[in-house]
Amino acid sequence: MGLAAKFVIPGVLFILTLVFGFWLSRSGKPYNGLLFNIHKLIALAAVIVAAIRTFNALKIVEAQPILIVLLIVIGLCAVALFVTGALMSAKKATGRAALTIHKIAPLLAVIAAIGTLFLLGGRA
C-alpha cells in the first residue's frame, strides 16, 4: 500500500469530524447529545488510526528533526482539541478562547500533516 493510501481512512475520519463539528456548532446549545458523541468518537477514531499509521510509517523512514517537530505540532493540536472540546461540553465558562483554539487547531494540524506527508513521501 502506498503512503497516501495509508492515510485515506484517517483523512476521511478527519473530514467527518469537521462535518459533525460544524453541524454540532450550528445546532446550538445545549449541545445535541447524539451529534456531540458522534463528533467526539469519530475524532478519537481518527486520532488513533492516524497515530498507528504514522508509527508504522516511521519504522521505515529515518526520522528527521523537522519531521519530529511537525509530529509534535500535530500531537499538541490533538491534545488542544480534546481539552477545549471537553471544556466546552462541560459548560465551563471558557469564553471565546476555547472555541477559537478549537477552530485554529484543525487548520494548523492539516498544514503540519501536509508537511509530514510531503517529507514521508517517496520514502515510506
The nearest distance, CB 64 to ligand HEM, in angstroms, is 25
Cell 465558562 sits on residue: 93
* CA dist., res. 28 & res. 20, Å (int): 13
Among the listed ranges 2-10, 16-24, 53-61, 116-124, the one in contact with ligand HEM (CB under 6 A) is: 16-24
For the record, the C-alpha cell of 70 comes out as 511537525
Contact predicate 79/101, CB 8 Å: no
Binding mask 62-101 for ligand HEM (x = CB under 6 A): -------------------xx--xx-xx---------x--
Question: Closer to ligand HEM at the Cβ: 7 or 106?
Answer: 106
* CA dist., res. 47 & res. 49, Å (int): 6
For the record, the C-alpha cell of 75 comes out as 500531537
Q: Which residues bind ligand HEM (CB under 6 A)?
A: 17-18, 21-22, 24-25, 31, 36, 39-40, 43, 46-47, 81-82, 85-86, 88-89, 99, 102-103, 106
